Amino acid sequence: MRKLLTVALTVTLLAGCAKEENVIKIGEYGGLTGSTATFGISTKNGIDMATEELNAAGGLLNKRVEIIVEDDRCLAEEAASAVKKLITQDKVVAMLGEVASSRSLAGAPICQENKIPMITPSSTNPKVTEVGDYIFRICFIDPFQGEAMAKFAYNNLGLRKAAILKDSKNDYSVGLAQFFAETFKGLGGQIVAEESYFEGDQDFKAQLTSIKGKKPETIFIPGYYTEVGLIARQARELGIPASLMGGDGWDSPKLAEIATIKKPGDALKDCYFSNHYASDDPNPIIQSFIQKYKAKYNEVPDAMAVLGYDVANILFDAMKRAGSTEGSKIRDALAQTTNFPGVAGSTTIDSARNARKPLVVLKIAEGGAYQYVATVNP
Amino acid sequence: MQEFLQQLVNGISWGAIYALIALGYTMVYGVLQLINFAHGDVFMLGAFFGYFFSRWTKIAQEPTLFGFFATLLFAMVACALVGMIIERAAYKPLRLRPRLTVLITAIGVSLLLENGGQLIFGADPKFFPSLVAETKLYESPTLVISNLPMIILAVSLVLMILLRFIVMNTKIGKAMRAVAFNREAASLMGVNTNNVISFTFALGSALAGAGGILVALTYPKIDPLMGLLPGLKAFVAAVLGGIGNIPGAVLGGMILGVSETMVAGYISSTFRDAIAFALLVVILLVKPTGLLGSRVGEKV
């Protein structure tokens, strides 16, 4: 019996080894559960779709690509341990993630230390890629996003008095608020109030009441969709008529559900936010992606899904050009990415390992649907 | 000044919720000298019971006032049952053990409900349906009073008065007070202490369940960990007012709610919790039994 067991065990181990050789393992960390779960889920959907297409077309370097996903439950400390596990236990050759800048900042130093190239699809805080030469991103950064929204508010909407309500524990939110305020004041506008909250708060009425007293024409809320939805509801409840504005953290299929007074999304009607792509853009690349995505997941992809799809393809492209799974070679190939035709626009990685890409301003219309308003080029 | 009025309205409706949860803490403490740390999680369960009930009965799709009260009642009854089950399963076998053992068990029950909740309901937040459509009752440029905080306040007040009536004017209330005063003597007088304790848990848990629904009405994000901080704050409110004292819990809840809102509105939301807890320290330094607490020393 024991002999049989040993044989069985050896065979399994050998089979395991044989299988290993034909697989390239890539790590992905993201929040699949928790306060901003739709970010992680959408990103994963996009990455999965790109990986399936790649494997169906014969894989990469004659091997199959396997994405190993770790859920960090939307917590920065969990993100660090997820990345550690992916690198030390699963021995991944490259890392995809995170969406939220605070979590990317927790994972990036570990990737840098182990010389594992990491690409974030949608962390916009400048500090993320400043961690080191193995950390890349394929989206615009917050100075650009904050500046674009401030200019949009001042020039296109003709607003002069803005208030800010930011998440003071979140790198993304603090950075975006700062860049918005600097540009808005530089243009001649006035920041009449600056209040803060913490992710996970339920009650924002105290801050909103003191903002209301200063009579702003718009409130800039650079937060994530859960809090933004709750803030919008409470702002309307307190009778604040001001238009609300924000950044790409607003984009989620859940946003309209949360910001509901009577009909979905009515608390955010006629509010504006900046995003990576517009689903009503007639561009055939975008429309054919939306169709493929809808057929698979039965919903319109949000920006996180699009960037998830793009980030995986950009990594595959770099690995193909590198012809190797060695960290330093993938890194060099990634740094040379030029005019990669992604769904969310053509992507070129600059010397600071950031992507220069246009952003779109979206308006929230009746029923919580997004309407394309403007494109801002860097 | 007008802004101050608005902040006061915000604070009182927030405080009413603390008060409602604090009542459960205080009642159980009064009768058993047990700090039931699982109380905040029963509050969470109340919100989830309401969420599933309103979706299941389709009340969520077409909200009516009747539907709201049906949901409220369902959550209260379900929480009362959960409270009784918790007491029977976790605390009753330990009734004659040292108080510390029971306290640690309470923490265990709390963790069980939080993590069990994440397992069953999932860790990502759910969004409670708007059972009552928001409308403005009073509106001027500086002061807006909408119906939601008023519903919270009204339902809380009715429940508190009902509770006071049960405790002061009914037979079971008299029995509760007797058990609180001296459990052994009460049982010698023919009071069925086990039933009284069960009833106390049911009553306290029903109030927590109502709190869950009322909170979810204005703050619709519900998740399995939502009871953690309100539970802690309500405990502070109970201590602030004098633990074991029912009007004290209401007073403590109101003070905490208003002071938190004022701090967030006039100073900074960063100091919200810090100042609330600093207030507790100051009050307890001046009056160690809490504002309305009177009992001094251990009873034998």
Q: Do A206 and B123 touch (CB under 8 A)?
A: no
Q: Are A276 and A360 in contact (CB under 8 A)?
A: yes
Q: How many CB pairs under 8 A join A and B?
A: 89
First to last CA, chain B: 51
| Residues composing chain A | 378
Q: What is the CATH number of the domain that holds B177?
A: 1.10.3470
Of B7, B125, B134, the CB nearest to A226: B125
Is pLDDT of B225 > 70?
Answer: yes
Quote the pLDDT of residue A1: 53
Quote the pLDDT of residue A7: 56
Distance from CA of B86 to the nearest CA of A (A): 27
- What would the pLDDT profile of A164-178 be if each residue is shown by its tens digit? 999 998 889 999 999
- pLDDT bin (cut points 50, 70, 90) of residue B206 is very high
Is pLDDT of A11 > 60?
Answer: no
By C-alpha distance, the chain A residue nearest B146 is A237
Q: Hey, of B135, B269, B270, B273, which one would you mutate to test binding to chain A, going by the most A CBs within 10 A of its CB?
A: B269
Residue B241 lies in a domain: yes
Quote the pLDDT of residue A18: 45
Is pLDDT of A332 > 50?
Answer: yes
Average pLDDT over residues B153-178: 89
Q: Do A206 and B260 touch (CB under 8 A)?
A: yes
Is pLDDT of B130 > 90?
Answer: no
Of A209, A257, A261, the CB nearest to B10: A209
Distance from CA of A42 to the nearest CA of B (A): 14
Tell me which of A3-12, B150-159, B238-247, B279-288 is least confident: A3-12
Is pLDDT of A159 > 80?
Answer: yes
Average pLDDT over residues B212-238: 89
Distance from CA of A219 to the nearest CA of B (A): 16
Residue B300 lies in a domain: no
Q: Do A206 and B221 touch (CB under 8 A)?
A: no
Residue B294 lies in a domain: no
Residue B76 lies in a domain: yes
- pLDDT bin (cut points 50, 70, 90) of residue B299 is very low
Residue B276 lies in a domain: yes
Tell me which of A154-158, B151-155, B168-172 is least confident: B151-155
Alpha helix segments (H runs only) across chain B: 2-32, 39-56, 65-86, 99-121, 147-169, 171-181, 183-188, 193-218, 228-241, 246-262, 272-286
Is pLDDT of B132 > 50?
Answer: yes
Q: Which domain holds residue B33?
A: 2-286
Is pLDDT of B104 > 80?
Answer: yes
Is pLDDT of A8 > 80?
Answer: no
Per CB-CB distance under 8 Å, the chain A contacts of B260 are: 206
Q: Do B269 and A261 touch (CB under 8 A)?
A: no
- Going by C-alpha positions, the residue among A75, A76, A120, A72 that lies closest to residue A94 is A120
Q: Do B10 and A205 touch (CB under 8 A)?
A: yes
* A348 phi/psi in degrees, rounded to 5: -125, 130
Give the CA dihedral A213, A215, A221, A227, nearest 10 degrees. Answer: 40
- pLDDT bin (cut points 50, 70, 90) of residue B300 is very low
- What would the pLDDT profile of B247-272 be if each residue is shown by its tens digit? 888 899 999 999 999 988 888 888 88
- pLDDT bin (cut points 50, 70, 90) of residue B149 is confident
E strand or H helix at A13: helix A2-20
Q: Do A209 and B268 touch (CB under 8 A)?
A: no
Quote the pLDDT of residue A199: 85
Quote the pLDDT of residue A295: 94
Q: Are B218 and B152 in contact (CB under 8 A)?
A: yes
Distance from CA of B196 to the nearest CA of A (A): 36
Per CB-CB distance under 8 Å, the chain A contacts of B266 are: 210
- Cα(A310)–Cα(A103) distance, rounded to whole angstroms? 20
- Going by C-alpha positions, the residue among A47, A55, A120, A63 that lies closest to residue A296 is A47
Neighbours of B267 (CB within 10 A): 12
Quote the pLDDT of residue B294: 67
- pLDDT bin (cut points 50, 70, 90) of residue B137 is confident
What's the whole-number average pLDDT of chain B?
A: 87
Is pLDDT of A301 > 60?
Answer: yes
Average pLDDT over residues A350-362: 91
- Domains of chain A in start order, with CATH, are 2-140+285-347 (3.40.50.2300), 142-275+360-376 (3.40.50.2300)
Token couple for A139: 């989206």
Per CB-CB distance under 8 Å, the chain B contacts of A213 are: 3, 142
Per CB-CB distance under 8 Å, the chain A contacts of B11 are: 206
Q: What is the DSSP string of B209-234?
A: HHHHHHHHHHS-EE-TTTTHHHHHHH
- Going by C-alpha positions, the residue among A69, A65, A85 that lies closest to residue A31 is A69
Quote the pLDDT of residue A12: 52
Average pLDDT over residues A51-57: 94
Per CB-CB distance under 8 Å, the chain A contacts of B263 are: 206
- pLDDT bin (cut points 50, 70, 90) of residue B297 is very low
Distance from CA of B11 to the nearest CA of A (A): 8
Distance from CA of B150 to the nearest CA of A (A): 12
Helices (H) and strands (E) in chain A, counts: 12, 14
Quote the pLDDT of residue A9: 53
Q: Do A203 and B219 touch (CB under 8 A)?
A: yes
Tell me which of A122-136, A209-223, A228-242, B267-281 is least confident: B267-281
What's the whole-number average pLDDT of chain A?
A: 90
Residue B83 lies in a domain: yes
- Cα(B77)–Cα(B49) distance, rounded to whole angstroms? 10
Residue B196 lies in a domain: yes
Average pLDDT over residues A222-243: 92
The half-sphere exposure of B72 on its side-chain side, counting CA atoms within 13 A, is 20
Percent of chain B topping pLDDT 70: 97
Tell me which of A81-90, A112-121, B216-225, B285-294 is least confident: B285-294
Total of domains in chain B: 1
- Cα(A371)–Cα(A279) distance, rounded to whole angstroms? 8
